[in-house]
Amino acid sequence: MPVTALLDTDLAPKTVTHNLQIVPQTGWWANAWATLGVWTPVRRCLKGHSQEASDAIYSTLRQVAGMANDGEVTLCDSDETFFESLYVKLPELRGTQFDMLRGVKRKLVHGPLCRTYVIGAGYSRHETNDQWLQLLTAIRHPRFLELKKRTGGHHLADLYHVWTAEENFLDCFITLDTTFLRAVTLPKPLDTPVRLLNPMQFVQWIAAGRVRA
């Protein structure tokens, strides 16, 4: 059985290794030497990370993609991570050869709550996000209340993803949100059957399982 993992929305903007930038290039243009600005893929440095740290994230995501393509891992999106992605500005080269998760099949799982989305002419992603946070605050299901108690009512969206993973019997929730991971691992791990890991920890966990096997 492959390992099943729900991907956090915060991974979506970080899977692309390059941005397009205008780079001066000198060449023979129209029967003369000239220097022109040419749109060129340039190595991408993620916000808040060094280039070395960014490259490490890309390398890890490439490994995760390889595991998924080999059938060792099943990567999942949920209805809520999909709609969260509508609020996120995605890299312009997403879906190209520079996207580490391009072509990787993802399974769609559903959250514990069913709700309707309407995206019309008056759609506002900020207003929609605010409404979602209000709904999360109003949930009175015993399990979600238990999860919220652990974080003092913070990180509601991520806790909902953990709850979704639990309801779908997934093995892991993969996120790059270090603040959330600290909140649910210190001083002791959150009481959940779902492993809460960043991509590097996930790859290490899978590798350790291979060694034991």
Give the single-character DSSP code of 139: -
Answer whether residue 23 is part of any domain.
no
Instruction: Give the pLDDT score at 175.
Output: 98
- Say which CATH number the domain at 144 has: 3.40.50
Instruction: Give the pLDDT score at 63.
Output: 96
Q: Which long-range contacts (CB under 8 A, 24 or more apart) does 135-142 make?
A: 136/160, 139/113, 141/112
Answer whether residue 198 is part of any domain.
yes
Answer whether residue 185 is part of any domain.
yes
Give the single-character DSSP code of 47: T
Answer whether residue 34 is part of any domain.
no
Distance CA 55, CA 92 (A): 18
Residue numbers of the chain with a pLDDT score lower than 50:
211-213
CB 141 within 8 Å of CB 110? no
